[in-house]
Amino acid sequence: MLGLLRTGLPVLRAAAGPQLQARSSQHDASAHARLLLSQLFQPLNLQVGGVAGCEGQAAELGCRSHRLMLQGGLIHPASPGCYHLLPPAVRSMEKLIRLIDGAMRNIGGQKVNMPSLSSAELWRTSGRWEQMGPELFRLADRHGKEYCLGPTHEEAVTELVAAHSNLSYRQLPLRLYQVTRKFRDEPKPRFGLLRSREFYMKDMYTFDASEEAARHTYELVCTAYRSLFKRLGLRCVQVRAATGTIGGTASHEFQLPADIGEDRLVLCPAGHFAANVEMVDEKQTACPACGEKLTQSRGIEVGHTFYLGTKYSSVHNAAFYTPENKLQLAEMGCYGLGVTRILAASIEVLSTEDSIRWPSLIAPYQVCFIPPKKGSREERGAALLERLYDDVAEALPRLAGDVVLDDRTQMTIGKRLKDANKLGYPYVVVAGRRVCEDPPVFEVWDQSSGTVLYLTKEGVIELLSKVQLP
């Protein structure tokens, strides 16, 4: 009986027993509000086959991540290819963005935010107004001026940089990036957030003083991408790719191998060669580096890099002053990461058919506490578990917003544990039979290793102190 959980704010600790009330006022002042599962806005429909808001659309749920995200209350359909991101998904996305921000800052990235509305004049100047075809969302304002909803921002950022006509070589390299909504009028959106019409993307645009410097920036960003996916625990393959409508002279995709992937990849088993199938001759069956037979795989594109040269800087006159005080066109690159696509793709490749598995760094919540069922023999362990919750929040304040108390005590521990498993909390702490021992012993389910630990309060705190956050 899961249905829609009540909406509300986390509440302060309920009236406690005499022992808890006797705690010092200093402790009470530092106590954190408890996040109660019953008050989180997360429309759960975890029964196998049940999907909230998608009655009659079961045939369209063609991939694991789409189904699990709907069942787990992470997303809710708004219109074809558009989804509400519900609080758990937003928490996960914000954690991912923090990781991305750190990676971009480490290579000199400066964050900007450009308008989603982009003038048709800009796109006509670059020639892409016609080239993009029907995938470009086009609209006109009340004065008849034409715009598009940006699927990408090469024109906008190049015009922005060109507007600063006194740019000096001393200010280069310039690496500007944003994380924002993008729009693409997909002819047939599918697979939930993997192929949608509205999505979040990180896009970086770089300006360098020479081709050599721009190539160095290109390698720097590619290395940062590989490191990011490694931190997330995702096996990502960098493959040669076509430049498409964005253009330029070099391009690579970052692909997560998956059976439902829309891209076909050819890979060298020894790792010497990797490309999108569109980049190789159909007769090429061996690795050009080592001669090994190439294997084929499918992949989900989660990132794309382009070396642009002066394709856009020449059109919009994005130039800088050299040491000789002469104007020279900037060498450009652009680099995208599909933020919402990474969320869905990570669930797709890590999860089981009926249970979400997150990259632990971006799980919406790190820990779920499950007290005994009301009326059970272990019911007196509920106060001990609540005290443990508070002790964890006090001892590890950085985790305070990442722990949830499953207060649906009308349900058995087994049922709530099954739900927690489906939602993919990295750790689940249960007040089971041993909670009544002296000292109390708690069950801790570690999802990453699939093991169960039996720990005292001190052991739980020590274990959770090692949890990494972005």
Fold type of domain 87-350:
BirA Bifunctional Protein; domain 2 (3.30.930)
| Cβ neighbourhood burial of 295 (10 Å; 0-12, 13-18, 19+) | exposed
Architecture of domain 18-42+354-464: 3-Layer(aba) Sandwich (3.40)
Residue 136 DSSP class: S
- Residue ranges covered by each domain of the chain: 18-42+354-464, 87-350
pLDDT grade for 165, boundaries at 50, 70 and 90: confident
| Res. 19: pLDDT tops 50 | no
Q: State how far the Cα of 48 lies from the Cα of 30, in Å rounded to an integer.
A: 41
- Residues 262-290 have pLDDT tens digits of 999 999 999 999 999 999 998 899 999 99
Query: Do 18-42+354-464 and 87-350 share a fold?
Result: no
- Residues 382-429 have pLDDT tens digits of 999 999 999 999 999 999 899 999 999 999 999 999 999 999 999 999
- Residue 295 tokens, joined: 């294997």
Residue 435 DSSP class: G
Q: State how far the Cα of 80 lies from the Cα of 99, in Å rounded to an integer.
A: 30
Q: CA dist 60 to 55, 81, 188, 320, 387, Å? A: 11, 12, 11, 51, 45
| Res. 3: pLDDT tops 50 | no
Q: CA dist 353 to 62, 67, 74, 234, Å? A: 12, 9, 16, 18
Find all residues with CB under 8 Å of 249, minimum gap 6, and list them. Answer: 243, 307, 308, 309
pTM: 0.90
Residue 93 near residue 340, CB atoms below 8 Å: yes
Residue of 325, 326, 329, 327 lying closest to 314 (CA atoms)? 329
- Percent helix, strand, coil in the chain, to 5, is 35, 25, 40
- Residues 58-74 have pLDDT tens digits of 445 679 999 999 999 99
Q: Is the dihedral of CA 92, 96, 97, 98 positive or negative?
A: positive
